[in-house]
Amino acid sequence: MKKLLIVDGNSLMHRAFHALPLMDADGVYTNAIYGFLNILEKVEKEEQPEAEQEETRQNDSEMIAAEMEMTLIMARAALLK
């Protein structure tokens, strides 16, 4: 039987926001994103949900990295206003 990983992202983001230091060296709030991705990666390694193709996992990782970078850029832009 295939394993499906269902994540309560809102709960994980809330938990990470309050559990980690708020900002990076530039003063950007990164704790929720950093914590969320660490928790997600840990659970994925422990539970090893099945992917249809290894390529799909690689594409997802690249997409997440690009989204994180865009989020940090947007957060920095908002702080500079």
pLDDT tens profile 19-33: 888 777 777 788 888
Are the CB atoms for 18 and 35 separated by under 8 Å? no
CA 57 to chain centre: 14
pLDDT band, very low/low/confident/very high, at 55 (cuts 50, 70, 90):
low
In this predicted structure, the answer to whether residue 54 has a pLDDT above a threshold of 70 is no
In this predicted structure, the answer to whether residue 78 has a pLDDT above a threshold of 80 is no
Nearest to 43 by CA among 13, 5, 71, 74: 5
In this predicted structure, the answer to whether residue 80 has a pLDDT above a threshold of 60 is yes
31 to 12, 25, 64: CA distances (angstroms): 11, 12, 16
